Amino acid sequence: MVAGGLIYCNFWGILMFAMQDDCVFCKIVSGEIDAHKIWENDDFVAFLNINPIKEGHTLVIPKKHVPDVFDMEDQHLSQLMIASKGVAKMLKKTLKPKTGRVAMKVEGLEIPHAHVHLITLDNEGDLQISASKDVTNNELKVLKDRIKADV
């Protein structure tokens, strides 16, 4: 058992993690919990953070449960970075950060499911977690629609 779920090896002996019943991100992937998704493909999904540090603060996660980015197979981790790059371009196009940059942050302490934070940067203080704030569901929906409209 790992973090309340099953661990197993697939046919090729690659370490795999089963979906976790108590994982909020797995519940988003399964549709049990709604999220403001701005992008997804077969393997990853990007959605707006419900307690953003800044407008557009986005999480990119693998659809398959893996407790930590460093538990991911190298190829899957590379694909997560490529997916994050594409989502960052979407955020830059819509939100036009003053620095022209989007930061990537990997923490993984709050939710034991591999994920990447993407945060637009207007100044060096933009990455302070203490700056996070509550936003309404409607504010997230309006922003999601803005970002998706710019694609």
Give the span between the Cα atoms of 139 and 112, in whole angstroms.
27
- Could you give the C-alpha distances from 39 to 4, 26, 46, 77, in angstroms and in order? 28, 16, 5, 18
**18 pLDDT tier (thresholds 50, 70, 90):** low
Q: Is the pLDDT of residue 4 over 50?
A: no
All structural domains of the chain with their residue ranges = 23-149
**19 pLDDT tier (thresholds 50, 70, 90):** low
Rg, Å, the chain Cα set = 16
**125 pLDDT tier (thresholds 50, 70, 90):** confident
| Catalytic residue annotation | 115
Q: Over the stretch 78-110, which tens digit does the pLDDT of each residue have?
A: 999 999 999 999 999 999 999 999 999 997 678
Average pLDDT over residues 23-42: 96
pLDDT, position 113: 95
Q: Is the pLDDT of residue 127 over 80?
A: no
Q: Over the stretch 37-59, which tens digit does the pLDDT of each residue have?
A: 999 999 999 999 999 999 999 99
pLDDT, position 5: 43
Percent of the chain with pLDDT over 90: 72
Structural contact between residues 23 and 33, judged by C-beta atoms closer than 8 angstroms: no
Q: Top-level CATH class of 23-149?
A: alpha beta
